[in-house]
Amino acid sequence: MSTGGRTRVDWVDIAKGICIIFVVMMHSVLGVENEAGTRGWMHAVVAFAQPFRMPDFFMISGLFLGLVIDRPWRLYADRKIVHFAYFYVLWLTIQFLFKAPGIVGESGASGAVSAYLLAFIQPFGTLWFIYLLPVFFVVTRLVKNVNPWLVLIVAATLETLPIHTGWLVVDEFCSRYVYFFAGYAFAPAIFRLADWLRQRPPVALAILGLWALVNGWLVFHPASEPFAAWIPQESYTSGGLGGWASVPLISLAAGFAGALAIVSVSALVAGSLSTREWLVRPLRWLGANSIVVYLAFFLPMAMARTFLLKTGIVTDIGTISLLTVVSGVLGPVICYALIQWSGYGTFLFKRPRWAHIDGAPVRRPALASAE
């Protein structure tokens, strides 16, 4: 692989690694604070990342779609629909087994069965991201011959409108599709931007410094009336503080600005790989295996949260939150390593042959690869 190609792949993996840490951080910190009934110092970090955390993840997810979007439908469906469906059903069942006793206690066995079946149309727990990705892949395939600017205008309008149906797939599609499609439609420009910034570190650092100041102001400065009334409730539940960054239209701009900032950071880090490989390698690995972390972080996160809050070994809520984040990130990595070492449980992160509709790839892919 050429140096340029390698750099591009490296920065994408680094960006995904940053994003998955922020995702685990959100669930970990907000979960701890919800159980404790108070906020800690980690909440400020979650709030700072709230405008761009998921926009960047979806934009990165669309970057390489242009390379495969014209594949035959059967192959496309196998890689972009069945792939994620397999992991969703598998990990839905795993998560549900842990939560079923509580559901049975509240609603009885019939309530538990109903909750499990409902999860096939209303994404369950932390798994909504991999439920939504196949929807994005299908929609983008269907509109690939439509003028991309028209699609972007419609998608941006959906992101801005106050659409709250109560159905997670509908609401999140409207809120996130614009970023995914932008990643697909503008992939060449995004790669060029990353290369340009990588070659000009002082310029990139200046831009990032300005962005950080603006993003911080938008996040922590409360929106005035009547703009505050336009902020969707979902912004608060995902760590927002009611700042200007959550106001419609401004949130769209902040999402794209933050996503491009992560691209810039990742490009700069990738440019330093030759001298700091040992520092960057873990982050790059997390990005390359982000779905492993996303699928499995819920259990070590929950275990760490419960242990730390009940034992009282640590009393500072911010520190408990940080330790819970570390557990949520490292837990899946340890699980993956044990599977690799023992050879047992590979089905947790790699589709078996029977779960393909177009034949398993001849080459040996990484566990839970995007393909």
- What's the pTM value of the predicted model, to 2 decimals? 0.89
pLDDT at 229: 76
Q: Within a domain: residue 321?
A: no
The pLDDT of 192-215, averaged and rounded, is 90
pLDDT computed for residue 209 by the predictor: 93
Quick check: is 262 in a domain?
A: yes
23 closest CA partner among 291, 256, 288: 291
- In contact, 234 and 54? CB cutoff 8 Å: no
Report which of residues 229 and 197 the model is more confident about. Answer: 197
What pLDDT, on the 0 to 100 scale, is given for residue 226?
Answer: 82
Residue type (1 letter), 229: A
Domain count, the chain: 1
Contact 40, 292 (CB under 8 A): no
Collapse the DSSP code of 228 into the 3-class scheme (helix H, G, I; strand E, B; otherwise coil) and give the result.
Answer: helix
Integer angstrom CA distances of residue 204 from 9, 50, 56, 128, 223: 19, 22, 18, 33, 29
Residues 158 and 178 sit within 8 Å (Cβ to Cβ): yes
Q: Which domain holds residue 279?
A: 3-26+44-288
Please give the pLDDT value at position 316: 94
Q: Mean per-residue pLDDT for 304-326?
A: 94
284-313: pLDDT as tens digits: 889 889 999 999 999 999 999 999 999 989
Interval 127-142: pLDDT, tens: 999 999 999 999 999 9
Is residue 85 situated within a structural domain? Answer: yes
Tell whether 199 is covered by a domain.
Answer: yes
Answer yes or no: is 311 within a domain: no
- 316 found inside a domain: no
Q: Is residue 358 part of a domain?
A: no
- Picking from 174, 138, 131, 132, the residue whose alpha carbon sits closest to that of residue 155 is 174
- In three-state secondary structure terms, 53 is helix
